Structure 1
């Protein structure tokens, strides 16, 4: 009861102070999303008591201005809130101001005796914070400035956000991670924010990767697709990708297909990306390398024998080698049981890459082959013969004996040639010596030989027989001397190759002959000339050449 009287007294006092009807406004500028209080005061005559207050808006309907109480308009709860009183303060608070809140407002109140509507209107301007990012497109490494603008008085404190994350500084050196949408806001009123502005950061390719459509080993003959990808701004074009194998260029483009993969395609692959943006002066960015492993069954299988010559009772190793990926994990040895391939069969004789025979026998001889296998397949080697040499059969000495025989033969031929050449030289020298003696003795006989002098030394002369000659006739001594000299001259000039030597022995009259003469053999053909004064006999042995002389 007491409180009611106090309120009535205050109303009367305020009314007494105002003394007249009136409403005073102050135009407002509000940021979108903020809460704003429209300042308002009113007055009324003495003895009036305010019973109700209300705010309204002026809206245009069909081009005409009409008044609408705020209570009649559709709005969010607590969007409009009266924060004044009933004795002079008529402030209005609008929460979460939006662009459609902009316009003209009025105030009206009712007293116990009358009612009043403001003759003027208050204008509410709704503005937004404007984020400015300079430059909006920047190359990585360059600086960026953030500025927040507003048509209303700008708050003293502004904060910045990038995709909802607080930005520490409005000026920074842009990195590729700084790309995003930026907006500014009033601290404590995150709903009061600017429209977001995008920052575009250009950067060279990063996270360049090369992938293969098959994982693990690639089976020979299958198809393989290489795909290169990256993160870049601007994105890498097709021509900006390159594929390399072991450092050698293969092709350009984001994809590369090998339809029939072979073992030669195994190696280290990487791709390269380029988009005209450099990072620390590097334009071309490489991916990490990947190893392409091509799998294939065993191939090029061969067998080696160590030692190559095997004697009976010794040991021998047969080694199987193959090219395979993955490596051959199984080796099996076979021996052909018969010599005829059409009717022969294979007998398994061992396993493992090396077949060891510690004490070979004659039965071990034959054709051997090995079969290599891995998870992809198997294949056989060609057949290799194993020959066993028997004990003491001398086979191992045949090469040595053959070598010795060749050496002896060459030595014998060389000795015969040397002997023949030496004999020829001696014979030529002897012929020259005998010829000289012959010439000197014949010339000496004609001048100083006496009838009683005995000539015991043989004389040699060159005698040529004509093809048409009759039995040889002996001329007188002088004629013989001339004939002999003539024959010697002719033989030395024209018929040196057809020389026949004759032994002429002159016997004395005395029949008492030296012992060596009596014991000499008589010539097959002999003759004597009885008419000579010295009654000496000349014996001659004539041998005719088998070759017919001219």
Structure 2
């Protein structure tokens, strides 16, 4: 029994002394890389003089139930076209992995086999694959509120980043929100702008802007014309309340409420007037209401011109009637004078004959 124990101890001592001439060294044991990029495990190994390396293999640690195992990368189909052995069968055991994915995160090991012995690394390389994480704080604001853009990864402190809004570069990462700041934001490491993060949307809410009124009928409007007025407004969220007013005098301060809703239907235009629309959403209302004039000045001038022409014609007719009456009066007086003359002459002739 003592002899067997002594032999086992001698074998263990011999194996330990032999392994002291064999080693694997990782220069960057905890690399961190961005998704989609490449990473290199810088690695070197040594072995006993006189041995010849016959095989090199990279493994990945895998938990199989409760048992930790090492599986050769060649057994993973996903690594077939993405892993590249950069080393040799001398002392370089470096490995590159391309087009990194988040699930590539994990432990990696190296093993080499000589013509007399197989040695695998006791330590490992732990790879962290991360993505650019973009944050817009807060993601929903009102006009005038502060916005901060953040770009980071789980293992890098990023100080030199580039930002884009809807594909266009921007320079500020802290600003007071305006309506035009709504959009999708992405970040990238400067110098590698083509490798961008996922986008995050900024929603800037604001009250109604850019008010306008559309008229359904263009051209001359008369008293019997039917017209629809449509109120347009740019707002976020969309305007949900519209109120219509009409001026009652020369001043826009003299207004009466004439309707509600985005469309105001006028069955007839009784007289010229200014119509005003006010829009409102959950953020606020438009206090600079736009106006539109419903009545064509050409129609008004047309009616005025017709009235003038009618008055002229009536005046001319009246003048002609007066002249005609005057002439008839003159003709009547002359006829009476002639008749008196003939009567008198007839009487005189009769008297002369009797004498």
TM over 0.5, yes or no?
Answer: yes
Measured in 2, the distance between the counterparts of 1:290 and 1:156 equals: 57
Q: 1:96 and 2:102 equivalent?
A: no
Are the aligned partners of 1:79 and 1:96 in contact in 2 as well (CA < 8 Å)? yes
Are the aligned partners of 2:226 and 2:269 in contact in 1 as well (CA < 8 Å)? no
> Following superposition of structure 1 onto structure 2, how do residues 137-536 of structure 1 map, counting pairs within 5 Å?
137-190=140-193, 192-217=195-220, 221=224, 223-238=226-241, 241-246=242-247, 247=252, 248=255, 249-258=257-266, 261-264=267-270, 266-275=272-281, 277=283, 283-287=286-290, 289=292, 291=294, 293=296, 304-307=313-316, 309-310=318-319, 388-391=324-327, 393-394=329-330
Say if 1:146 and 1:45 are closer, same or farther in 2 by CA, change over 3 A. same
When the two structures are superposed, what TM-score results if normalisation uses the length of structure 1?
Answer: 0.47
- Match of 2:74? 71
Aligned with 1:32 (options 32, 35, 40) = 35
Are the aligned partners of 2:132 and 2:187 in contact in 1 as well (CA < 8 Å)? yes
Measured in 2, the distance between the counterparts of 1:175 and 1:203 equals: 8
Measured in 1, the distance between the counterparts of 2:192 and 2:325 equals: 106
RMSD: 3.8
- Match of 1:106? 109
Query: Once the 2 structures are TM-superposed, how far is the Cα of residue 102 of structure 1 from its aligned partner?
Result: 0.9
Query: Once the 2 structures are TM-superposed, how far is the Cα of residue 221 of structure 1 from its aligned partner?
Result: 5.0
Say if 1:256 and 1:263 are closer, same or farther in 2 by CA, change over 3 A. closer
Measured in 2, the distance between the counterparts of 1:97 and 1:110 equals: 28
> Which is higher, the Rg of structure 1 or of structure 2?
1
Say if 1:22 and 1:253 are closer, same or farther in 2 by CA, change over 3 A. same
Are the aligned partners of 2:112 and 2:120 in contact in 1 as well (CA < 8 Å)? yes
Measured in 2, the distance between the counterparts of 1:291 and 1:86 equals: 91
Query: Secondary structure in 2 aligned to 1:289?
Result: strand
Query: Going by fraction, where is helix more abundant, 1 or 2?
Result: 2
Measured in 1, the distance between the counterparts of 2:101 and 2:316 equals: 101
When the two structures are superposed, what TM-score results if normalisation uses the length of structure 2?
Answer: 0.69
Measured in 2, the distance between the counterparts of 1:217 and 1:76 equals: 76
1:376-428 Cα shifts (integer Å, max 9, x gaps): xxxxxxxxxx982253724999xxxxxxxxxxxxxxxxxxxxxxxxxxxxxxx
Is there any run of 5+ residues in structure 2 with no aligned partner, and where? 1-18, 334-355
Measured in 1, the distance between the counterparts of 2:63 and 2:152 equals: 31
Measured in 1, the distance between the counterparts of 2:43 and 2:140 equals: 47
Query: Once the 2 structures are TM-superposed, how far is the Cα of residue 151 of structure 1 from its aligned partner?
Result: 2.5
1:245-281 Cα shifts (integer Å, max 9, x gaps): 34433222222223xx324165443422233646xxx
Query: Once the 2 structures are TM-superposed, how far is the Cα of residue 168 of structure 1 from its aligned partner?
Result: 0.8
1:343-380 Cα shifts (integer Å, max 9, x gaps): xxxxxxxxxxxxxxxxxxxxxx7xxxxxxxxxxxxxxx
Count of aligned pairs between the two proteins: 300
Structure number with the bigger relative contact order (C-alpha 8 A, sep ≥ 6) is 2
Query: Once the 2 structures are TM-superposed, how far is the Cα of residue 152 of structure 1 from its aligned partner?
Result: 0.8
Q: 1:121 and 2:121 equivalent?
A: no
Are the aligned partners of 2:225 and 2:269 in contact in 1 as well (CA < 8 Å)? no
